[in-house]
């Protein structure tokens, strides 16, 4: 591992792992949830608030930042940490997800990807080498290789082609990363769709190339939760125990607990922020839709025992009013509530693993979500 980056496994409980990732911008306790700051911002919240909610690391997106304001401009302004006033760790997605999600605006070849910018339609080329260059300009603590995802379900030939192309891009990314600034880390990405044999082959080849950590990509892309967790478990078991394991784009609180039970260390997902902006709160009682009319005259908070003031001190009636009136404060409060809950969930899992009581914690959490919200008396 590079100087300034390391991973220490502190305890295990079954397949669940508690550890620490050291980066040039601080320690990341794992299991870790990374709030998504696609365009150098977690929508609606200041960096100071995100930190106070418990985040050690944020995710930003190579594709979006290369289009606006531009990686070179961010570098000239002192790098992404200074630009967004976040002095803690940052992981940057390589842009590979856009290879899949912008299907109508891109062309994929062995050399790389040509996008049509969703902003102005201009053609933009993104190769493995350029993706690494952009992430280095941004100053990411953890950079990701460029990969190709396929939306599931997909044919065996589609999944195999994308997996082999991603491996070729992994080798090129690793060579390009040799010139990156000292202390930064590079993660390879396991691909292979829902085919566990392709996933095994991908993991083996990536280990041979050698990366500082390994991500499992191309999931939560149209398949069932059972398939997601099954493939994640299989891939995690194939990866080195002394490197972080990152399940990309997942997921709900239940997804996080179940994935940690299968050996995953790192997560990112837009659900807590995106759903918060649309009136959905995540709690120990499960998801609660504040648009629902049953909350209109309910004076209770979402969770009177929550350490989060937004969940504890505001009535459901007021949150419902803000959501229905489309007031900005509603989106801000619910985003705060959701990120606070996600970070508390991660902290509770770390504590449970350290105390070797993770199975009990898992059962209690799943039971609480299954029982649902407390009914109005």
What count of other Cβ atoms lies within 10 Å of the Cβ of residue 144?
30
**CB 190, CB 199: distance < 8 Å:** yes
Q: Give the residues across from 35 on adjacent strands.
A: none
For residue 294, what is the DSSP state?
A: G
Q: Can you tell me the distance from the alpha carbon of 64 to that of 69, in angstroms, rounded to the nearest whole number?
A: 8
Of 93, 136, 141, 147, the active-site residue reads: 93
Active-site option among 56, 141, 268, 373: 268
Residues with Cβ within 8 Å of 273's Cβ and at least 6 positions away in sequence, in order, are: 35, 36, 42, 43, 44, 335, 338, 339
**Residue 245 tokens, joined:** 């394991």
The pair phi, psi for residue 46, each rounded to 5°, is: -75, 155
User: Which residues, in sequence order, are bridge partners of residue 180?
Assistant: none
The contacts of residue 252 (CB under 8 Å, 6+ apart) are 269, 271, 282, 287
Among residues 315, 299, 314, the alpha carbon closest in space to that of 377 is found at 299
Q: Can 268 be counted among the known catalytic residues?
A: yes
Number of C-beta neighbours around residue 63 at 10 A: 25
Q: How far apart are the first and last CA of the chain?
A: 56
- In the block, residue with structure tokens 């989060």: 308
Q: At what angle do helices 225-238 and 196-209 cross, to 10 degrees?
A: 40
Reply yes or no on whether 93 is catalytic.
yes
Query: Which of helix, strand or coil describes residue 186?
Result: strand
Separation between Cα atoms, residue 135 and residue 127, nearest integer Å: 12
CA distance 100 to 150: 6
Torsion (CA) 290, 295, 299, 300 in degrees, nearest 10? -60
What backbone torsions phi and psi does residue 28 show, to the nearest 5 degrees?
-110, 115
Residues with catalytic function: 93, 268
């Amino acid at each position: 591992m590079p100087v300034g980056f390391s991973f220490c496994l502190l305890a295990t409980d079954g397949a669940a792992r508690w550890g620490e990732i050291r980066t040039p911008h601080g320690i990341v306790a794992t299991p870790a949830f990374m709030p998504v700051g696609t365009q150098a911002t977690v929508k609606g919240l200041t960096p100071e608030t995100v930190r106070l909610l418990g985040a050690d690391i944020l995710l930003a997106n190579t594709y979006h930042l290369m289009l606006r304001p531009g990686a070179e401009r961010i570098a000239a302004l002192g790098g992404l940490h200074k630009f967004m006033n976040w002095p803690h760790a940052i992981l940057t997605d390589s842009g590979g997800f856009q290879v899949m999600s912008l299907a109508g605006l891109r062309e994929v070849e062995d050399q790389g990807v040509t996008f049509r910018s969703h902003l102005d339609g201009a053609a933009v080329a993104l190769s493995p080498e350029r993706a690494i260059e952009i992430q280095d300009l941004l100053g990411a603590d953890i950079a990701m290789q460029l990969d190709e995802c396929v939306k599931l379900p997909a044919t065996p030939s589609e999944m195999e082609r994308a997996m082999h192309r991603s491996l070729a891009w992994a080798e090129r990314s690793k060579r390009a990363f040799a010139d990156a600034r000292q202390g930064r880390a590079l993660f390879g990405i396991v691909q292979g769709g829902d085919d566990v044999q392709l996933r095994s082959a991908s993991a083996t080849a990536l280990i041979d190339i050698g990366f500082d950590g390994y991500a499992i990509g191309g999931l939560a892309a149209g398949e069932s939760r059972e398939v997601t967790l099954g493939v994640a478990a299989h891939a995690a078991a194939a990866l080195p125990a002394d490197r972080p394991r990152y399940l990309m784009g997942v997921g709900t609180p239940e997804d996080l607990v179940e994935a940690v039970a299968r050996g995953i260390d790192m997560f990112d997902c837009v659900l807590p922020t995106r759903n918060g902006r649309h009136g959905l709160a995540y709690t120990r009682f499960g998801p609660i839709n504040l648009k629902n009319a049953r909350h209109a005259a309910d004076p209770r908070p979402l969770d009177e025992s929550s350490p989060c003031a937004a969940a504890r001190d505001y009535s459901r009636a007021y949150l419902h009013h803000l959501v229905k009136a489309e007031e900005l404060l509603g989106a801000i409060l619910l985003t705060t509530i959701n990120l606070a809950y996600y970070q508390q969930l991660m902290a509770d899992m770390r504590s449970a693993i350290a105390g070797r009581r993770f199975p009990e914690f898992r059962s209690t959490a799943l039971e609480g979500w299954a029982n649902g919200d407390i009914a109005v008396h």
